[in-house]
Structure 1
Amino acid sequence: MPAPYLSVRNLTKHFAPQAFSRGPVVKALQDVSFHIGRGEVVGLVGESGSGKTTIGRSVLRLIEPTSGEIRFEGIDITKLGATELRRQRRKMQYIFQDPFASLSPRMTIGQILTEGLDIQGIGSKAERRARAKEALVAVELPADAFDRYAHEFSGGQRQRIGIARALTLQPEFIVADEPVSALDVSIQAQVVNLLHDLKLRLGLTMLFISHDLAVVEYICDTVVVLYLGRIMEVAPAADLYARPRHPYTRALLSAVPSLDPAVKRQRQVLKGDIPSPASPPSGCVFRTRCPYAVDACAAAVPALIEVAPRHRKACIRDDIE
C-alpha cells in the first residue's frame, strides 16, 4: 500500500495567553491524526470552534503546531527551516475564507496573482504574467481582470481570484478554508462547481474545510468530523452519509436537507453550547452534549477505532445503531 500523500499524526496546538495576560491555555487541537491520498479531497467538518481552520493553517505551517508530525510526500514539514519550507510551499497553497479581507486593495489583480511567483523566483516577468492570465481563465474570469483592482469585483468574483492566486504556482495540494461561506447562496453553487471541476481537471489533492455538509458530500471523497479539537469520526463520504456511527455526526447530518422526498431525517438538536477549548471536558469531549453519554465516558478519551472498512469512530458505545 503506498504511503499517504499527506499524513498528519498526533497534531496538537495550544495557544498560550497573550503577553501580560493570565488567561488559560487554549487547547485548540489534541492528538489529531488523519491522512490524504494523492488526488483525494478530504472534508473537515464540525461546528465553529472545533479547530478546523487551526488544522488547515497548521498543515501549511501558517501557524506553528505545538507538537505532532505533518508529512508531505514523506517529508516532515514541521522540521523544515525557512528556506526549505518556502521551496516546499510551491506545491502547497491556501484558499482563504474571506474574499474581501484576503485581497490587497492597493494591488492590481495581476500583482496579487504574480506575487507568489515573484517570491519563488519562477519565470520571467512575461512568463509570470502569462501564467497569471491562464489562472484567470481557469477560474472563468476575463484576462482583462489582470489590470483591475479587487474593489471592482463582486464577492463571488473575488473568491475566484483567490482560487486563481492559489493556482498560479501550479500546486499539487490546496487547503480550501470555508471557500464559500462568505458568499450568497446563488454564488456558492458556482464556486463549488468550479472547485469540483478543477479537482477533476487538474487532479488536485485538497483539504476542504466547511460547516456545510451538503457541499462536503458533493465535493469530498473522505470526511473527518471534528469536535472541540478532537476527531469524532472518519469515513468515506458515501459511507458516512449513509450510516453515521458517532452521535455527533448523526446530529450534524440530521440538519442537512435531503432532495429525496422519500428520505426523512429526524432533527437531533444538541443541548447547550460547545464547551470552551480552554477548559474541555474530561474523557470524551462530546459527552456533555451527547444523548447517549454514560459515566464511563468521563473516565478516558475514547480511541479512534475501526468499525467498518476505512470507517473509524471515537466512542466507547458500540450499541448505538
Structure 2
Amino acid sequence: MTTAPFLSVRGLAKHYQTRGATLKILQDISFDIAKGEVVGLVGESGSGKTTIGRSVLRLIEPTSGEVVFDGTDLTGLSSGEMRRQRPRMQYIFQDPYASLSPRMTIGEILTEGLKIQKIGTKAERLQRARKALEQVELPPDAIDRYAHEFSGGQRQRIGIARALTLAPDFIVADEPVSALDVSIQAQVVNLLRDLQQRLGLTMLFISHDLAVVEYICDRVIVLYLGRIMEIATAEDLYARPQHPYTRALMSAIPSPDPTARTKRQILKGDIPSPANPPSGCVFRTRCPNALDACAATVPELREVAPGHFKACIRDDLEGSLTPPGA
C-alpha cells in the first residue's frame, strides 16, 4: 500500500501581468514531499524558487494548480479556513535583519503568531517562546531584548524559533543561511538539521548553495526559469546528474580536495526573461547539447532511473561528472 505524500503540488503556475506583458514565473510545477522528508529546491536567481515556497503556503496566490497538504487542498480554502491551517506550516525567511521588527521584544515576536491564533494564555505563550529559544540554543533572557542586540546568526536563530513556537509539521526554509557569514552558516545548518531530525519536521529547503543542499536534503528539485529540470535523491543527483543544467550547476561546486579536477561547464549568457521565455525547452538557449527539436517540444518530466526524473528529450547525456581527460 502506497502512503499518500504529506505535501503534493500539481500543475502549479504563477503569472503576473505587467505593462501589457505576462511574466510566467512558474509553469506546470509538480512534486511530492513525504512526511519527515527534507526536499531541496535549487536553481539560479530568477528561477522561481521563492515563488514556489510562498505559493505552497499561499503567502501569495498561485495562478493555477493544486497544493494538497496532509489530505487538504489548500488552494480551495477560504481565508478563515487557511488561517486555521497556518500553525501547521511556517516560513523561515532569508534576511534575519528585515524579518524581525525592531520595535518588538523577542518575546513579543515569538508570541505574535500564538496570539493571532488565540493559542494559550499569556503565560503559556511566553512559556512556549522560552522553549523555542532553548531549542535554538539562545539564553532565556533573550526574550526581553530587541533584535538589534543580536548578531546575524542569532537573529536567524530567533527567526527559526518564531517558526517553532506554533509547533508546525511543515516548514519552508527560504535561503536561511545565505545572508550569514560563512563561519556562521554551518552552525545554523547543523541546527536546522538537528531540529528536523529531533522534531520530525517536513521541510522544503530553498537554496542556491549546492553543498548545503547536499548536506541537509533527502531529495533535490532543480528549477530553471519556472520549470523543473530534474528531481532525484541527493545522493543520486550529485553522483549522476542527468540534465545538462544540473551538470553545469554541479560542476561549479568547489571540491574540498585541491588535487581533484572536475571539468567546469560554463553556461553562456543570462537566464532569459520570464516575460519572453524560449519556446520548447526553456533551457535550450543556454544548453550546450540543444537540438533543433528542443525549440518545438516542451520536455516532460520523465523517470530515467528509479526515483530519478529529468525534463530533457535526449537520452545520450546520462552519466556522472568526469574529470578532464577521463
Equivalent of 1:235 in 227, 232, 236 = 232
TM-score by length of 1: 0.98
Structure 2 residues not aligned, in runs of 5+: 319-326
CA distance in 1, matches of 2:297, 2:108: 52
CA distance in 2, matches of 1:218, 1:230: 24
In the alignment, residue 274 of structure 2 is paired with which amino acid?
A: P
TM-score by length of 2: 0.96
Q: Give the Å deviation of 1:263.
A: 4.4
CA distance in 2, matches of 1:131, 1:23: 49
Equivalent of 1:55 in 24, 43, 52 = 52
In the alignment, residue 132 of structure 2 is paired with which amino acid?
A: A
Correspondence for 1:150: 147
Q: Give the Å deviation of 1:262.
A: 6.3
Correspondence for 2:191: 194
CA distance in 1, matches of 2:297, 2:95: 38
Residues matched between the structures, number = 317
Question: Is 2:133 the partner of 1:136?
Answer: yes
Q: Give the Å deviation of 1:260.
A: 4.2
CA distance in 1, matches of 2:260, 2:57: 39
Q: Give the Å deviation of 1:74.
A: 1.1
CA RMSD of the aligned region, Å?
A: 0.8
Q: Give the Å deviation of 1:16.
A: 1.6
Equivalent of 1:159 in 156, 162, 186 = 156
In the alignment, residue 242 of structure 2 is paired with which amino acid?
A: R
Question: Is 2:281 the partner of 1:303?
Answer: no
CA distance in 1, matches of 2:164, 2:117: 14
Identity of aligned residues (%): 78
Structure 2 matches for 1:274-289, cutoff 5 A?
274-289=271-286
Structure 2 matches for 1:71-150, cutoff 5 A?
71-150=68-147
Equivalent of 2:179 in 178, 182, 191 = 182
Q: Give the Å deviation of 1:257.
A: 1.5
Correspondence for 1:31: 28
Equivalent of 1:268 in 241, 265, 270 = 265
Question: Is 2:17 the partner of 1:16?
Answer: yes
Q: Secondary structure at the match of 1:55?
A: helix
Q: Secondary structure at the match of 2:21?
A: coil
Equivalent of 2:251 in 226, 251, 254 = 254
Q: Quick one: structure 1 residues 230 and 307, their matched pair in 2 at CA, closer, same or farther if it must change by over 3 Å?
A: same
CA distance in 2, matches of 1:204, 1:263: 36
In the alignment, residue 7 of structure 2 is paired with which amino acid?
A: L
Q: Give the Å deviation of 1:259.
A: 2.4
1:201-243 deviations in whole A, cap 9, x for unaligned? Answer: 1111000000000000000000000000000000000000000
CA distance in 2, matches of 1:262, 1:314: 33
Correspondence for 1:314: 311
User: Hey, which bits of structure 1, 4+ residues long, moved more than 4 A?
Assistant: 260-263
CA distance in 1, matches of 2:276, 2:237: 29
Equivalent of 2:207 in 206, 210, 220 = 210
Structure 1 residues not aligned, in runs of 5+: none
CA distance in 2, matches of 1:67, 1:23: 20
Choose 8-17 or 44-53, whichever is displaced more.
8-17
